[in-house]
Chains A and B, each alone.
Chain A
Amino acid sequence: MKREVPLIITAVVGIMYIFQYFVPHEPVSRFSDWFSDWFGIIQAFAIWLGALNLMKLSLLKVARRKKDWMYSLVTIIGFAAIFIVGIFFSRGANFQEPGTRFMFIYDNVYDPLSSTMFALLGFFVASASYRAFRARNKEATMLLLAAFFVMLGRVPVGDMITKEWLQLPHWLWLSNWADWVMNIPNTAGQRAIMIGIALGIMSTSLRIILGIERTFVSGD
């Protein structure tokens, strides 16, 4: 029963979900609404589960003094602080209103910290570009040229050079080259990837719905 019930639920929900997509009329469309509502409820619980799991792992790490346990301590303190402030000291359900203590933490701690972490990527991208964009072979040279046109064509200085300083004809402006790279080779490549992914998702989904793929219930 522990294996069969989840398999049956998956098969029934999966088949109904496919069916309702092609028959968007009553009573089939009602299934779509039910499943959407249930998915929202499950995801809301999953958020809680994720948060509690994070706390459990962090607490265990601190209690057992595992490597880098101090980072887990920061996680626990941060979580507890924003949780307590959000629930008890931020006008209850209106905690997201501007001016609450929750929003104070959001604006002055979370926002700058997460932005800083993300901004570091810019530096690493610059360093990685220096080392990676080398014309080692034909493929690498093409990548290098595409990067050159897109990087310069996507900022105003690209057109400033080709349009105003060099006064080249319209088709030689760097923005046009960048647009060409984005609209033609990029779109073609993205479409190929998308179609490949879609086919993979379809086959995996069918295997799960039909009960061929059972690792999610048995761990086999």
Chain B
Amino acid sequence: MGFWDKLMKIDRRIIFLFVIVAVTLPLFLNISQKTTISYEVRRGFDELARLQPGARVLIPCDYDPPSAPELQPMAITAIRYCLDHDLKMIIMGLWPQGPQQANAALESVLGEVPGETIIWKGKTLTYGRDWVNLGFQAGNELVIQRMGSSIPAAFPRDFRGTPIAELPLMQGMQNFNNIDFVINVSAGYPGIVEWVQFGVDRFGVQLLGGTTAVQAPLAYPYFESGQLRGILGGLKGASEFEELAGTLGKATKFMLSQSFAHIIVILFIIVGNVAYFAGGRRKQT
């Protein structure tokens, strides 16, 4: 077996080793990178920035821990932005783990376990008045449809079991007409596509969608058609969102790892192709 043949059949463990170094090494480096803000993130952020203090923002967190490295920074930035700008948050989940991920995001913003009342940046934030967590509801896209006619019918109680009629923020809230903006953070089904099909098309909600890099290509047709106000795609989208919101966090930090990992993969692809042509392509096909 010649050199090029050996290179073509390189042991996958060597590739794994390079990837692990590429991912972990940047975590210990202090290199700053400039993120170019894409149009889909900027437009979505501009829509969010138009909201006035007191506006009600629905944040459906439809993801679980495996997707958290990409999506948790989006949820954190969205929650921090809402608290900073006095926007009222209604958190919910069509995935069972979503509301727990949202609680973790809230805890990471507030710096402590969110209780009934908390002092944050000189503001007194109260559960039920400044934010609520409606929890998980089974039913996938039909929950969205039910919310279109009656939010209290879809979510009679919050995730603590409190009837939502007792929560000041939910009083008088009937359906999507009482929601000013929706930031959906999702990792698959049900997620952005279902929110577009049922929430946007049927009830006219204003939707900014955050999703994993793998799922993002599915969302682009909806952005191009104007159904989505913006897309936060993967860790890159999350880092752009952080930059626009003025709070650099984990997404910005992890982008260096992603940059290194992509460079390694690209280099391997180049090496693989060089070996393919140098080793006689006909022999391999």
- Within the complex, what minimum Cβ distance (angstroms) separates A24 from chain B? 8
B273 and A133 contacting across the interface, CB-CB below 8 Å: yes
B160 and A93 contacting across the interface, CB-CB below 8 Å: yes
Residues of B within 8 A of A136 (CB): 276, 281, 285
The yes or no answer to B3 lying at the interface (CB within 8 A) is no
A190 and B276 contacting across the interface, CB-CB below 8 Å: no
List CB contacts (< 8 Å) of A169-187 with chain B.
173, 175, 179, 182-183, 186-187
- Within the complex, what minimum Cβ distance (angstroms) separates A55 from chain B? 18
Q: A94-B160, A133-B273 are in contact. Are A183 and B220 (CB under 8 A)?
A: yes
A110 to B266, CA, bound (A): 33
Residues of A within 8 A of B145 (CB): 32, 36
A98 to B23, CA, bound (A): 31
Residues of A within 8 A of B160 (CB): 93-94, 97
Q: A40-B139, A117-B66, A154-B213 are in contact. Are A98 and B114 (CB under 8 A)?
A: yes
- Within the complex, what minimum Cβ distance (angstroms) separates B255 from chain A? 6
A151 to B124, CA, bound (A): 44
A117 to B159, CA, bound (A): 28
A115 and B66 contacting across the interface, CB-CB below 8 Å: yes
Task: Determine the residue in chain A with the shortest Cβ distance to B19.
Answer: A126
Q: Which of B33, B35, B142, B258 contacts A39 (CB 8 A)?
A: B142
Residues of A within 8 A of B276 (CB): 134-136
Q: Which of A40, A114, A117, A125 contacts B142 (CB 8 A)?
A: A40
Residues of A within 8 A of B281 (CB): 136
The yes or no answer to A210 lying at the interface (CB within 8 A) is no
The yes or no answer to A73 lying at the interface (CB within 8 A) is no
A126 to B19, CA, bound (A): 7
The yes or no answer to A215 lying at the interface (CB within 8 A) is no
A157 and B153 contacting across the interface, CB-CB below 8 Å: no
The yes or no answer to A75 lying at the interface (CB within 8 A) is no
A106 to B64, CA, bound (A): 11
Q: Is the interface of B mostly helix, strand, loop or mixed?
A: helix
Q: A134-B273, A154-B234, A156-B34 are in contact. Are A40 and B146 (CB under 8 A)?
A: yes
B39 and A179 contacting across the interface, CB-CB below 8 Å: yes
A33 and B224 contacting across the interface, CB-CB below 8 Å: no
A138 to B263, CA, bound (A): 24
Q: A36-B143, A96-B159 are in contact. Are A152 and B218 (CB under 8 A)?
A: no
B19 and A40 contacting across the interface, CB-CB below 8 Å: no
A126 and B15 contacting across the interface, CB-CB below 8 Å: yes
The yes or no answer to A167 lying at the interface (CB within 8 A) is no
- Within the complex, what minimum Cβ distance (angstroms) separates B248 from chain A? 13
B220 and A159 contacting across the interface, CB-CB below 8 Å: no
Q: A98-B107, A130-B15 are in contact. Are A190 and B264 (CB under 8 A)?
A: no
Contact flags (1/0) for B199-238 with A, using CB distance below 8 Å?
0001000000000010011101100100000000010100
Q: Is the interface of A mostly helix, strand, loop or mixed?
A: helix
B137 and A40 contacting across the interface, CB-CB below 8 Å: yes
Task: Determine the residue in chain B with the shortest Cβ distance to A122.
Answer: B19
Q: A93-B161, A129-B268, A148-B269 are in contact. Are A118 and B220 (CB under 8 A)?
A: no
Task: Determine the residue in chain A with the shortest Cβ distance to B267.
Answer: A130
Task: Determine the residue in chain B with the shortest Cβ distance to A130.
Answer: B268
B272 and A131 contacting across the interface, CB-CB below 8 Å: yes
Residues of B within 8 A of A115 (CB): 65-66, 68-69
A127 and B16 contacting across the interface, CB-CB below 8 Å: yes
Q: A130-B10, A148-B269 are in contact. Are A114 and B159 (CB under 8 A)?
A: no
A144 and B269 contacting across the interface, CB-CB below 8 Å: yes
The yes or no answer to B174 lying at the interface (CB within 8 A) is no
Residues of B within 8 A of A200 (CB): none
6 additional A-B pairs beyond A133-B273, A152-B263, beta carbons within 8 Å, are: A115-B65, A115-B66, A126-B19, A179-B38, A183-B220, A187-B220
List CB contacts (< 8 Å) of B232-285 with chain A.
234, 236, 255, 258-259, 261-266, 268-269, 271-273, 276-277, 281, 284-285
- Within the complex, what minimum Cβ distance (angstroms) separates B144 from chain A? 9
Q: Which of A103, A118, A144, A182 contacts B67 (CB 8 A)?
A: A118
Contact flags (1/0) for B125-156 with A, using CB distance below 8 Å?
00000000001011110110110011001100
The yes or no answer to B99 lying at the interface (CB within 8 A) is yes
B269 and A147 contacting across the interface, CB-CB below 8 Å: yes
Residues of B within 8 A of A47 (CB): 138
B137 and A173 contacting across the interface, CB-CB below 8 Å: no
Task: Return 26 A-B CB contacts under 8 Å, by A number.
Answer: A32-B145, A33-B150, A36-B143, A40-B142, A40-B146, A96-B103, A97-B160, A98-B107, A107-B104, A111-B65, A122-B261, A123-B19, A123-B20, A126-B265, A127-B12, A129-B268, A130-B272, A131-B272, A133-B272, A134-B273, A135-B277, A136-B285, A148-B266, A154-B234, A186-B217, A187-B221
